[in-house]
Amino acid sequence: MTVAEITPEGRASRQEGQSVAFGTDDRYLQFREHYGLTLPVLFNTWPWISENYILDTLQKLAYPEEMNVKGYDEMRLTFGDQARFIMPDLLKIVEDPTLDPVIRRMAARFFVRGGTRQAILGPDISKEEKIYNRKVGRDNNLLRGLLITPSDNEEQAARTIDELKAWYQENVNIYHFEPTLWQKVKIFFFQTRFLRYMSRVVTLDFGTLRNDQNKTVISEVTKRFKYSLTLSIIPMCVTFVFCQIFGFIMAYKQNRWQDFSLNLTFLVLYAIPIFVVAPFLIEKVALNKTFPFTDIPIPITGFTSSESVYESKLSYQRLFDVLQHITLPLIAIMYGTLAASSRLSRTAVLEVLRQDYVRTAWSKGLPPLTILGKHVGRNAAITIVTSIAGSLGIVLGGSLIVETIFEIDGFGKFFYDAVVNRDYNVIMFSAIAGSFLTLMGYLVADIAYTLLDPRVTLD
């Protein structure tokens, strides 16, 4: 429990409890430890922190009257992260009877913070890791019971200090509290935020779920990825084909009724948000209705039928079952992108139609389909490829609303639940995966340029 008094000017006057050193959320601390966010960015100079700096910081934390809340919070978090590298100095301050008791109590809190370790989490923990986890659990419970409170008398405080000192001497070599010069050099280069973070990313180690430590982020994403991939790649491909068709019609029939009607239709579709269209499709199109010219009911939830029904079907029946279930979600996802891309395709086609080589083709008397398909289509497609390539980055989260409304257990819904539950590991993976897929989309676009335009090379 933390007790903070705030002055009328918005300054922190007192803060008691172990959260001064630990923060207020153990899950967030675990997340920061996992990705190395408790370490400096590039170089770790914390083992060389001077005793004067430690005393000055403890003084400010013990008497924060002249410090605003934000500055106090930043200082205590940073000093808490530094604590594990300055354990001998903290213990020395705790033992010094000539120092202010308030500063000694504060030093004891950060000593406990520095000695606290995070357990190794995951579904496949080795025997050695289980032994380590048991020791960490015992040590953490012991340390958190050794905080010196203002109500402790001198005898109680001395007893607590003796227990802290005994624990330190027992674990000084196990946890490397007093590193040698060579160990400090290794800490300087290797115990950094960048190296820890990159090692996790390269090995795809994004930790476990917040609510279930036996499930890793990667394993859960893999289970759901096929749903989001289906609801992203299919609309992307269908949109590319149909937007080209509609773009050619509008451009070829420029300023005629076909152009005006399609333009107006796509403008209206683009203006309607997806969270309006999806419920409308469920209530007005699908609910208690069947597919046209059949007696097959239109599914409104899920990616497939129930597991028992789905498993009993043959391969082609399973495919048909999936197509039935994703028809409405695909429409809900695709209409807005199709509307925007079709209008963009119209502009691209009109620009190409005005080129000299197209006029030359018309003057030679080539068939319209040959001109539009061979000379105009490939060049106009470059603009559409550029537009669609950037959307590959939303494969993981682009279907969030649709997956939530249609109760499809894809990654979009998974990511939404992670945000609601403050599952930092899943959020971290989502950000990295989205960035990676965006870069891959642009790479695919660059390769597609060479196929569409022979003048473009990868050199």
Place of tokens 């905080």: 147
- In tens, the pLDDT along 257-276 reads 988 999 999 999 989 888 88
Region 348-359 average pLDDT? 85
Region 338-363 average pLDDT? 86
Region 351-357 average pLDDT? 85
pLDDT tier at 241, thresholds 50, 70, 90: confident
Region 297-314 average pLDDT? 85
Which domains does the chain show, CATH number per domain?
A: 3-202 (no CATH), 217-452 (1.10.3720.10)
| Residue-level pLDDT at 85 | 93
- What's phi and psi for 3, nearest 5 deg? -120, 120
Q: Show the tokens assigned to 315.
A: 């391969």
What is the Cα–Cα distance from 362 to 371, expressed in whole angstroms? 7
DSSP code per residue over 6-36? E-TTSBEEEEESTHHHH-S-HHHHHHHHHTT
Backbone Cα Rg of the chain: 31
pLDDT tier at 392, thresholds 50, 70, 90: low
| Residue-level pLDDT at 232 | 80
Given a cut of 50, whether residue 413 has pLDDT beyond it is yes
- In tens, the pLDDT along 140-153 reads 888 888 888 888 88
pTM of the model: 0.68
pLDDT tier at 16, thresholds 50, 70, 90: very low
**CB–CB of 292/320 below 8 Å?**
no
- In tens, the pLDDT along 193-216 reads 999 888 888 888 888 887 877 888
| Residue-level pLDDT at 289 | 83
What is the Cα–Cα distance from 384 to 105, expressed in whole angstroms? 65
pLDDT tier at 8, thresholds 50, 70, 90: very low
4's enclosing H/E stretch is strand 3-6
Number of other CB atoms surrounding residue 407 within 10 Å: 11
CA distances from 110 to 11, 47, 198 (A): 22, 15, 28
Given a cut of 80, whether residue 457 has pLDDT beyond it is no
| Residue-level pLDDT at 165 | 92
Given a cut of 70, whether residue 409 has pLDDT beyond it is yes
Given a cut of 50, whether residue 1 has pLDDT beyond it is no
Give percent of the chain with pLDDT exceeding 90: 12
Instruction: Identify the DSSP state of 304.
Output: S
Q: What is the mean pLDDT of the chain?
A: 83
pLDDT tier at 12, thresholds 50, 70, 90: very low
pLDDT tier at 14, thresholds 50, 70, 90: very low
**Which of residues 408 and 9 earns the better pLDDT score?**
408
Give percent of the chain with pLDDT exceeding 70: 91
* Residues paired with 4 in a beta bridge: 15
- In tens, the pLDDT along 26-66 reads 677 777 887 788 899 999 999 999 999 999 999 988 888 77
Q: Show the tokens assigned to 256.
A: 């005629």
- In tens, the pLDDT along 142-186 reads 888 888 888 888 888 889 999 999 999 998 888 888 999 999 999
pLDDT tier at 454, thresholds 50, 70, 90: low
pLDDT tier at 13, thresholds 50, 70, 90: very low
68-77, 295-304, 391-400: least confidently modelled range: 391-400
pLDDT tier at 15, thresholds 50, 70, 90: very low
| Residue-level pLDDT at 418 | 86
Buried/exposed 358-387: b ≥16 CB within 10 Å, e otherwise: beebeeeeeeeeebbeebbbebbbbbbbbb
**CB–CB of 362/371 below 8 Å?**
yes
- In tens, the pLDDT along 48-58 reads 999 999 999 99
pLDDT tier at 90, thresholds 50, 70, 90: very high
Given a cut of 50, whether residue 7 has pLDDT beyond it is no
| Residue-level pLDDT at 196 | 86
